[in-house]
């Protein structure tokens, strides 16, 4: 690293874009010596603890918080009844159909609880410990109602209802039909004429985002102004929404997302506790803080996925695909949160994947259950779609007796066909699926592993080997505002940036795309260093405070570099344009004769002349000498609204060992080649791919949020909700192809979700490839050893897990014999 | 989370510790490394009135040679056990199993005695201690007594350590001429065992002269696979003989069903892992 960071005076500075810069922000993030929300201490600050429902579905018949109110250190206790008139409803910004049913979402339950963990009272105390101690003193009576957990049961006629004032448990029925949209042929016709139809039911298990920093909120009232610090991905959206929910005028509310420790979509939310903190700070006129425990986080922060997918694919005998039909049941949980209904709908456009389907129909029912709501989780709709298409392509290949890669190759979009409008109506921008696949095959050592697979099969080795393929694309760079409008989304998809040139020549970049661990500060500095020709170290990136970054739409959907970075580049262009006029004036030359390179304006054909942009910054600060008719500033801002999505793609290959005696699966080798367009920082890209792979592999092998028959979250700690560590994951062989995105000035496509989207089907396909000759056709995720073993030895997909009992002795020990006297 | 309020005592000798426990009545918990007690308290599943912290009782730490046995102090940390030459020489099974406990950070705080007295059926060390016929030295205000491993583990999270008593040290016979293997099965590296098998084997002239097999998480307490041991005693040291003996590993077991595994799968795993553990220990 040292070598590339040294600058020599004379030579032109190296381009920053493409340089594997270590991240500026890491030292403070990794050591924790920074402004995490929970580090905030304000004079007179009070602490909140939330009393939560221990039952999944019940009427609240009595609430007695008198003992809690009397507890030492307790200042106030609020029940749902106390806040009923002012709490409004948490917002849902994505009514995917005009007749979508939204039951409303109280921040604190008033008459009825609809999932375990729902807030029923809030303790306010002088210390966090005092608040927590008083939680146990709240006495709440519940009259149980029937618990609705299974979507396939919930949609039947006469099913028990989650919300008994509604007619059914179905929130909406969303349809995309390519025939009706004019982007494809008639699906029924395509299927009726097909030689081969393969139908499968896939289960996308419920997942928990499990960000590293738990959610935390601080609210400080100052007169009728409020400042909220929150560990959120979306300070800008939160400000608008919180203002609308609470009635605090938007200009009286400032939201700050300080350093935020991960989100993965889990902090793309307007949380009940954020609203409760505002309401209580307003009532008491005192600053308040709420920080969740890990148990609260797993139980009450929104979950992800949880869909049942019915997928049909039609093809002729030669393997030409003819049609795709997808029907989804999507578990909303008990309520609709910010984009709960939109997640499966966002996936609707990705099911055709990289293939040239002539016909396609998608239907989705959003279903209420007595569980915590689902919402965005890394990939949000696209991992589900990618899983379904990449799994069904393998199943079709088996049915046809074709090599799974040959089947894909026969049907994917060729490099020469870009831009290509798919059957779902999306215009894929650029790429080369064959090139990515060839590179991935090399990285994996495909031929050798196939040979080893053959040997193991012939010898009947207890450890069998399989290779799984996932050739994927995703829609990123969310999003063109007009497209979002056409999908009834409640906001646009543009992004804003401004650049402030300081008198000493240093540069402040203000971005509306709020990072929560992605490395914006480093990447944006690289962009600006190249655009303005200033040193990387001279750039500071400001973000996350609505008073500093006034306009923004935050970070999700692999949008930051593609949309937010583009706004930065456009703002830099404007700075240069404004500086050009000053430079022409000071150099006594015509603007047309000036060229700008490496941070300097010089007069064409006049060597030795020149004026640096950092010098111009000082000159215009002094403002002693500048042209008539312009303002004395070279600061600029820009708003970038993409015209199209960007479409990263890639080929992921997984080689998997399956111990047929125990069912244990172990990734032998993993190779991925991703085309994310222009790479600004290869180190950040590599990091995003690694993290994404870990999360996608985790869905395939480890993670599953499980409720027991009463609606209790059995996986309530990390003992049972298994998040893998580096010790459980293989070395990743990663590579890239680069086809610049034509839709933005950087050429970037987005990398935040690629690894997570692509890897899950590659892993499952690999495990199935290892044991398919033993009669296994499906294994439900996650592929626990028990499920794999049962699928091999008993048939089926591995079956249900024993949900009534956790593995954590701690959770069961309440009814265990006393261990008094023993040393724990 | 924040534990409920509790009183705290930090004695520096075993005698002081016993006095502190006696002074505090029934609702007292003894804190060793805290790797299980602290999470349980933070989840408020346990709320003792008093916690007696043994962290400053220096006399409970360390491993010493005691003739035909080694003696491991109850407060010896896992990482100290792992680094100890006496353990490595005379009871390598303990070191191997200890190396699979949780992660490095936990092993630096968690203790040998704490893990044994906690008696979590999914914990690794109880089955190892049982397989090696360890002896547990328990101190009370009336003196010390020695409990054989076979009588130490009474039930789920329950040992023979009585009210007002402390485990002070564990005597492990020297296993000269034996070879050993701990075969652990779990889903992620730092997790508890779903099932694990501790095996120690002494070979003589191409035969297995003696074998000791302990089972982790196959019931509320660690178990000895006696039928396997009997089948192995005097058997030829061949893969076939070991496999046949291992088929008896699940006899008499009563494992739980939980998220990781249902009982029938655990019983299957016990057989496979027993075969693997004994085979490896026997050098097959």
**For the domain that residue B269 is a member of, what is the CATH number?**
3.30.390.50
Inter-chain contact A805–B114, Cβ cutoff 8 Å? no
**For the domain that residue B133 is a member of, what is the CATH number?**
3.30.465.10
Query: How many helices (H) does chain B have, and how many strands (E)?
Result: 12, 14
Q: Which residue among B27, B117, B188 places its CB closest to the CB of A725?
A: B188
Q: What is the pLDDT of residue A823?
A: 31
Rounded to 5, what percent of chain A is helix, strand, coil? 30, 25, 45
Locate the chain B residue with the closest alpha carbon to A724: B188
Distance between CA atoms of residues A644 and A585, nearest Å: 40
Looking up tokens 């655009």 gives: A531
Q: Of the candidates B173, B188, B222, which is a domain's last residue?
A: B173
Choices 3.20.20.370, 3.30.365.10, 3.10.520.10, 3.40.50.2300: CATH for A431-477+486-493+642-824? 3.30.365.10
pLDDT band, residue B21 (cuts 50/70/90)? very high
For residue B265, tell me if it sits in a domain.
yes
- For B88-140, write each residue's pLDDT tens digit: 999 999 999 999 999 999 999 999 999 999 999 999 999 999 999 999 999 99
**pLDDT at B190 exceeding the cut of 60:** yes
Cβ-based contacts of A295 with chain B (< 8 Å):
1, 43
Q: What is the pLDDT of residue B17?
A: 97
Locate the chain A residue with the closest alpha carbon to B39: A810
What one-character DSSP code corresponds to residue B260?
Answer: S
| Same domain flag for B136 and B45 | no
Q: What is the pLDDT of residue A824?
A: 30
B68 lies in which domain range?
Answer: 63-173
Mean pLDDT to the nearest integer, B215-231: 98
Inter-chain contact A722–B36, Cβ cutoff 8 Å? no
| Same domain flag for B43 and B102 | no
Mean pLDDT to the nearest integer, A792-812: 80
- For A299-327, write each residue's pLDDT tens digit: 999 999 999 999 999 999 999 999 999 99
Q: What is the pLDDT of residue B2?
A: 87
Query: Number of structural domains, chain B?
Result: 3
For residue B255, tell me if it sits in a domain.
yes
In this structure, the dihedral spanned by the alpha carbons of residues A107, A110, A116 and A118, taken in order and rounded to 10 degrees, is: 20
Q: Which residue among A133, A662, A728 places its CB closest to the CB of B272?
A: A662
CA distance B163 to chain A (A): 5
Distance between CA atoms of residues A769 and A5, nearest Å: 47
Distance between CA atoms of residues A388 and A350, nearest Å: 10
Long-range pairs for B34-39: beta carbons < 8 A, 24 or more residues apart: B34/A824, B34/B109, B34/B114, B35/A824, B35/B102, B35/B106, B35/B109, B35/B110, B35/B114, B35/B115, B36/A809, B36/A810, B36/A824, B36/B114, B36/B118, B36/B120, B37/A824, B37/B118, B38/B3, B39/A810
Q: Which residue among B2, B43, B187 places its CB closest to the CB of A785?
A: B187
Q: What is the pLDDT of residue A10?
A: 52
Dihedral sign, CA of A388, A389, A391, A393? positive
Inter-chain contact B156–A817, Cβ cutoff 8 Å? yes
| Same domain flag for B163 and B200 | no
- Which residues on adjacent β-strands are paired with residue A78? A122
Q: What is the CATH number of domain A37-145+210-300?
A: 3.90.1170.50
Locate the chain B residue with the closest alpha carbon to A462: B272
Peptide bond into A782 cis (omega under 30): yes
> How many contacts does A have with B, using Cβ atoms within 8 A?
152
pLDDT band, residue A6 (cuts 50/70/90)? very low
Inter-chain contact B159–A789, Cβ cutoff 8 Å? no
Average pLDDT of chain A is 95
Give A665: exposed, middle or buried? Use CB within 10 Å, 0-12, 13-18, 19+: buried
Joined tokens for residue A441 = 């095959």
Inter-chain contact B45–A810, Cβ cutoff 8 Å? yes
Inter-chain contact A786–B260, Cβ cutoff 8 Å? yes
pLDDT band, residue A12 (cuts 50/70/90)? low
For residue B261, tell me if it sits in a domain.
yes
| Same domain flag for B90 and B24 | no
Q: What is the pLDDT of residue B101?
A: 96
**pLDDT at B213 exceeding the cut of 70:** yes
CA distance A23 to chain B (A): 27
**pLDDT at A355 exceeding the cut of 80:** yes
pLDDT band, residue A11 (cuts 50/70/90)? low
| Same domain flag for B128 and B224 | no
Are A675 and A738 in contact, with CB atoms under 8 Å apart?
yes
What is the number of other CB atoms lying within 10 angstroms of the CB of residue A528?
28
Distance between CA atoms of residues A571 and A665, nearest Å: 50
What percentage of chain A exceeds 70 in pLDDT? 96
Outline which parts of chain A fall under CATH 3.30.365.10.
Answer: 431-477+486-493+642-824, 495-640
Whose CA is closest to A229, among A215, A243, A248, A210? A215
Inter-chain contact B188–A136, Cβ cutoff 8 Å? no
- For A217-233, write each residue's pLDDT tens digit: 999 999 999 999 999 99
Mean pLDDT to the nearest integer, A18-45: 95
Q: What is the pLDDT of residue A810?
A: 40
Dihedral sign, CA of A687, A214, A267, A254? negative
Cβ-based contacts of B21 with chain A (< 8 Å):
821
The DSSP annotation for A475-526 comes to -BS---HHHHHHTT-SS---EEEEEEE-TTS-EEEEESS--SSS-HHHHHHH
- Across A375-413, b (16+ Cβ under 10 Å) vs e yields bbbbbbbbbbbbbbbbbbbbbbbbebebebbebbebbbb
Are A478 and A493 in contact, with CB atoms under 8 Å apart?
yes
Locate the chain A residue with the closest alpha carbon to B217: A807
Whose CA is closest to B279, among B239, B252, B247? B239
For residue B1, tell me if it sits in a domain.
no
Distance between CA atoms of residues B130 and A149, nearest Å: 43
Question: Can you tell me the ipTM of this complex?
Answer: 0.97
What percentage of chain A exceeds 90 in pLDDT? 94
Out of A79-83, A732-736, B39-43, B197-201, pick the least confident: B39-43
Nearby residues of A139 by Cβ (< 8 Å), 6 or more positions away: A62, A63, A64, A65, A67
| Same domain flag for B157 and B68 | yes
Locate the chain A residue with the closest alpha carbon to B155: A817
A442 sits in which H/E element: helix A433-444
Mean pLDDT to the nearest integer, A110-126: 98
Q: Of the candidates B55, B72, B94, which is a domain's last residue?
A: B55
To test the contact with chain A by mutation, choose from B1, B165, B259 the residue with the greatest count of A C-beta atoms within 10 A, namely: B259
Are A341 and A96 in contact, with CB atoms under 8 Å apart?
yes
Distance between CA atoms of residues B122 and B191, nearest Å: 9
Q: What is the pLDDT of residue A817?
A: 29
Alpha-helical (H) ranges within B217-259 are 226-232, 239-246
Q: Which CATH architecture has domain A495-640?
A: 2-Layer Sandwich (3.30)
- For A463-494, write each residue's pLDDT tens digit: 999 999 999 999 999 999 999 999 999 999 99
Q: Of the candidates B173, B199, B224, which is a domain's last residue?
A: B173
Inter-chain contact A823–B31, Cβ cutoff 8 Å? yes
Distance between CA atoms of residues A370 and A150, nearest Å: 9
For residue B2, tell me if it sits in a domain.
no
Inter-chain contact B187–A784, Cβ cutoff 8 Å? yes
Outline which parts of chain A fall under CATH 3.90.1170.50.
Answer: 37-145+210-300
Inter-chain contact B118–A801, Cβ cutoff 8 Å? no
Distance between CA atoms of residues A335 and A370, nearest Å: 9
Q: What is the pLDDT of residue A8?
A: 44
Distance between CA atoms of residues B225 and B282, nearest Å: 17
For residue B214, tell me if it sits in a domain.
yes
Q: What is the pLDDT of residue A820?
A: 28
For residue B95, tell me if it sits in a domain.
yes
What is the number of other CB atoms lying within 10 angstroms of the CB of residue A552?
26
């Amino acid at each position: 690293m040292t070598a590339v960071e040294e600058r020599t005076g004379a030579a032109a500075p190296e381009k920053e874009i493409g340089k594997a810069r270590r991240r500026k922000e890491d030292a403070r993030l990794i050591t924790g010596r920074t402004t995490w929300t929970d580090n905030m201490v304000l004079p007179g600050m009070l602490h909140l603890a939330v009393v939560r429902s221990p039952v999944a579905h019940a009427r609240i018949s009595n609430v007695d918080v008198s003992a809690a109110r009397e507890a030492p250190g307790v200042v106030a206790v609020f029940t749902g009844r106390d806040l009923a008139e002012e709490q409004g409803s948490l917002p849902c910004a994505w009514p995917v159909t005009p007749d979508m049913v939204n039951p409303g979402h109280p921040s604190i339950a008033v008459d009825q609880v609809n999932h375990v963990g729902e807030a029923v009272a809030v303790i306010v105390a002088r210390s966090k410990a005092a608040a927590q101690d008083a939680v146990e003193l709240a006495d709440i009576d519940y009259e149980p109602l029937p618990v609705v957990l299974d979507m396939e049961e919930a949609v039947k006629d006469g099913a028990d209802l989650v919300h008994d004032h509604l007619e059914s448990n179905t929130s909406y029925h969303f349809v995309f039909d390519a025939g009706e949209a004019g982007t494809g042929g008639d699906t029924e016709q395509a299927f009726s004429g097909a030689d081969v139809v393969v139908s499968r039911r896939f289960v996308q298990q419920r997942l928990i985002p499990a960000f590293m920093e738990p959610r935390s909120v601080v609210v400080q009232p100052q007169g009728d102004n409020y400042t909220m610090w929150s560990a959120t991905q979306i300070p800008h959206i939160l400000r608008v929404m919180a203002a609308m929910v609470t009635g605090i005028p938007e200009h009286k509310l400032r939201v700050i997302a300080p350093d935020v420790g991960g989100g993965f979509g889990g902090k793309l939310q307007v949380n009940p506790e954020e609203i409760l903190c505002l309401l209580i700070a307003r009532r008491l006129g005192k600053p308040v803080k709420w920080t969740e425990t890990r148990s609260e986080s797993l139980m009450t922060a929104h979950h992800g996925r949880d869909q049942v997918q019915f997928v049909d694919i039609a093809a002729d005998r030669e393997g030409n695909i003819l049609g795709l039909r997808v029907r989804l049941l999507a578990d909303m949980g008990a309520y609709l949160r910010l984009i709960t209904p939109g997640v499966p709908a966002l996936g609707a456009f990705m099911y055709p994947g990289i293939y040239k389907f002539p016909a396609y129909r998608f239907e989705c029912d959003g279903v209420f259950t007595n569980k915590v709501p689902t919402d965005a989780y890394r990939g949000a709709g696209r991992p589900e779609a990618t899983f379904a298409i990449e799994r069904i392509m393998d199943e079709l290949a088996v049915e046809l007796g074709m090599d799974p890669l040959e089947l894909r190759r026969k049907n994917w979009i060729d490099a020469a066909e870009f831009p290509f409008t798919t059957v779902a109506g999306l215009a894929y921008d650029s790429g080369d699926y064959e090139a990515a696949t060839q590179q991935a095959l090399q990285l994996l050592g495909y031929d050798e592993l196939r040979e080893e697979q053959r040997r193991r099969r012939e010898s009947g080795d207890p450890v069998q080997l399989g290779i799984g393929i996932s050739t994927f694309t995703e829609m990123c760079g969310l999003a063109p505002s007009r497209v979002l409008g056409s999908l009834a989304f409640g906001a646009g998809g543009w992004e804003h940036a401004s650049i402030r040139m300081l008198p000493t020549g240093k540069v402040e970049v203000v971005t509306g795309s709020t990072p929560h661990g992605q490395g914006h500060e480093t990447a944006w500095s690289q962009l600006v260093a190249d655009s303005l020709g200033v040193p990387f170290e001279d750039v500071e990136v400001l973000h996350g405070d609505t008073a500093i970054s006034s306009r923004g739409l935050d970070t999700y959907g692999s949008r930051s570099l593609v949309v937010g970075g583009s706004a930065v580049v456009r703002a830099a262009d404007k700075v240069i344009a404004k500086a050009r006029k000053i430079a022409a004036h000071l150099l006594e030359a015509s603007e047309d004769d000036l060229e700008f390179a490496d941070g300097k304006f010089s007069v064409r054909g006049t060597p030795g002349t020149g004026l640096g942009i950092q010098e111009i910054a000082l000159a215009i600060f002094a403002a002693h000498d500048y042209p008539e008719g312009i303002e004395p500033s070279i600061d600029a801002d820009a708003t970038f609204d993409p015209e199209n999505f960007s479409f990263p793609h890639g080929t992921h290959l997984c080689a998997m060992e399956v111990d047929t005696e125990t069912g244990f699966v172990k990734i032998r080798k993993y190779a991925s080649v991703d085309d994310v367009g222009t790479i600004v920082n290869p180190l950040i890209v590599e990091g995003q791919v690694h993290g994404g792979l870990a999360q996608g592999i985790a869905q395939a092998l480890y993670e599953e949020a499980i409720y027991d028959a009463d609606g209790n979250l059995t996986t309530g700690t990390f003992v049972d909700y298994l998040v893998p560590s580096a010790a459980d994951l293989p070395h990743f062989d990663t590579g890239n192809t680069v086809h610049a995105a034509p839709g933005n000035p950087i050429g970037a496509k987005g990398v935040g979700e690629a690894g997570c989207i692509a890897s899950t089907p590659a892993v499952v396909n690999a495990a199935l490839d290892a044991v398919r000759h033993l009669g296994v056709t499906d294994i439900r995720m996650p592929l626990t050893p028990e499920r794999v073993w049962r699928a091999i030895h008993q048939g089926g997909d591995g079956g249900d897990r024993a949900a009534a009992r956790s593995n954590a002795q701690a959770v069961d020990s309440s009814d265990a014999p006393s261990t008094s006297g023993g040393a724990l | 989370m924040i534990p409920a309020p509790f009183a705290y005592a930090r004695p520096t000798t075993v005698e002081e510790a016993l006095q502190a426990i006696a002074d505090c009545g029934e609702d007292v918990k003894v804190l060793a490394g805290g790797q299980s007690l602290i999470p349980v308290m933070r989840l408020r599943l346990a709320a003792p009135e008093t916690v007696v912290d043994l962290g400053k009782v220096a006399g409970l730490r360390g491993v010493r040679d005691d003739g035909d046995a080694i003696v491991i102090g109850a407060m010896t940390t896992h990482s100290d056990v792992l680094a100890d030459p006496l353990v490595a020489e005379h009871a390598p099974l303990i070191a191997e199993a200890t190396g699979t406990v949780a992660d490095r950070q936990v092993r630096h705080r968690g203790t040998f005695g704490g893990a044994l007295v906690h008696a979590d059926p999914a914990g690794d060390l109880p089955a190892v201690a049982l397989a090696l016929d360890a002896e547990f030295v328990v101190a009370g205000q009336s003196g010390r007594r020695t409990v054989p491993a076979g009588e130490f583990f009474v039930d789920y999270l329950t040992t023979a350590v009585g009210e007002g008593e402390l485990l002070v040290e564990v005597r492990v016979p020297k296993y000269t001429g034996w070879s050993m293997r701990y075969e652990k099965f779990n889903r992620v590296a730092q997790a508890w065992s779903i099932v694990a098998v501790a095996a120690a084997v002494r070979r003589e002239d191409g035969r297995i002269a003696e074998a000791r097999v302990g089972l982790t998480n196959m019931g509320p307490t660690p178990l000895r696979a006696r039928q396997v041991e009997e089948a192995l005693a005097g058997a030829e040291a061949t893969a076939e003989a070991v496999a046949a003996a291992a088929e008896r590993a699940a006899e008499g077991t009563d494992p739980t069903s939980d998220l990781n595994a249902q009982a029938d799968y655990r019983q299957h795993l016990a057989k496979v892992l027993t075969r693997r553990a004994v085979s490896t220990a026997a050098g097959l």
